[in-house]
A and B are shown apart, each in its own frame.
Chain A
Amino acid sequence: MHIMEGFLPGPWWQIWFIISAPFIIYGLYQLKKLVEEHRETLPLLAVAWAFVFVLSSLKMPSVTGSCSHPTGTGLGAIIFGPCIAAVLGLIVLIYQALFLAHGGITTLGANVFSMGIAGPIVAWIVYKGLTKAGVNTYVTVFLAAALADLFTYVVTSIQLALAFPAETGGFVASLLAFGSVFAVTQVPLAIIEGAVIALVFKYIIHLKPEILTRLHIVSESTVRKLQESAL
């Protein structure tokens, strides 16, 4: 989903910087408050960040015959909300832009928006919605993480299609072209990412459920039920 350095013409790269900035600023504010009020969440924050770091380094082959990588932002988004997830994503994207020439400084705003903001918002909405509807927590986490991953690539396709509408067919034709490169490749990877994050969620439920109940992510009765469940 990385838009390569210099591949977004003006005004698009500036527009995405402007759109992403408020999320990052609010995320930093939330992060500061979280660390002051719930210091015990720091290790979990580190794990959420580490997940983005690891998963976005793994390029995996997919059904379309090309390779792509998962995003790993679902875990942070579910537990800490999309704005903090945006900050976690930003750090990873800066590392890749500076050291790996993967993504770029000029396209950072657009990449942060797709990976750090749009995906996490989907994860967060799916998680809240399905939890309210009473769906099994692991199924919920699986769907939230998988859809966040997939949506990130859909947004990248939209960003590129907006900047490069096709001469014949315009935005839609261009969206289909980029979508077939990005979004279709991503489907199997999204499924695997969902399963990995659901598994990690299970370990947190078993080892450190206090953090999740204190942040009101999972209720205590759900924790007890999950700890006894066959999954």
Chain B
Amino acid sequence: MKYGLEIFLIALIVIFGAIFLIQNAGFQSTGQEAWGGSDDGASSIIEETGYEPWFSPVWEPPSGEIESLLFCLQAAIGSVIIGYVFGYWRGRKVNA
């Protein structure tokens, strides 16, 4: 197995990270607030028209910490499944 795609992905992430750092430096020097969610961006465009949401979430994470806990849980559960399946296949292949 060669590593062409792996190198391509790492290069993309490095470029992506560099762009972020440069932009972030720009935002910080001007004191601008940035990096909010695009979903909230769209919601505020709608709210500017005077629209009131007619239904609110049944349950909301009570704090930022709880929210990030649930997001982390989501990523962790998914990663365990991906890692388990690929590890299982690889083990089977090596032992075959």
Contacts and interface: CB of A to CB of B under 8 A. Distances in A.
A181 B45 contact: yes
Interface in A163-222: 164, 167, 177-178, 181-182, 185, 188, 191-192, 195-196, 198-199, 202-203, 206-208
Interface string A75-112: 00000000000000000000111111110111000000
Nearest to B27: A65
Interface residues of A, number: 67
Interface string B52-91: 0111111111000001001110110111011001101110
A33 interface: no
A207 B55 contact: no
B78 A66 contact: no
Nearest to B39: A2
Interface string B35-51: 11111111101100101
Nearest to B42: A181
B34 A66 contact: yes
A6 B46 CA distance: 11
A188 B13 CA distance: 10
B25 interface: no
Interface in B1-24: 1-2, 4-6, 8-9, 12-13, 16, 19-20, 23-24
By secondary structure, the B interface counts as: helix
A99 B61 contact: yes
Contacts of B20: 61
B78 A160 contact: no
A4 B82 contact: no
B34 A199 contact: no
Contacts of B4: 230-231
B8 A100 contact: no
A19 interface: no
Interface stretch (A21-29, A50-58, A117-125): A50-58
A231 B82 contact: no
Interface residues of B, number: 56
Nearest to A167: B49
B78 A100 contact: no
A63 B21 CA distance: 11
Given A66-B35, A100-B61, A6 B55 contact: yes
Contacts of B70: 99-100
Contact of A192 (B16, B41, B53, B61): B16
Given A5-B55, A47-B81, A65-B34, A207 B89 contact: yes
Interface of B: 1-2, 4-6, 8-9, 12-13, 16, 19-20, 23-24, 27, 32, 34-43, 45-46, 49, 51, 53-61, 67, 70-72, 74-75, 77-79, 81-82, 85-86, 88-90, 93
11 contacts: A3-B39, A4-B53, A9-B51, A47-B85, A65-B32, A67-B37, A160-B46, A164-B46, A164-B51, A192-B9, A202-B5
The list of the 5 closest CB pairs from A to B, nearest first, reads A6-B53, A54-B78, A6-B55, A53-B78, A231-B4
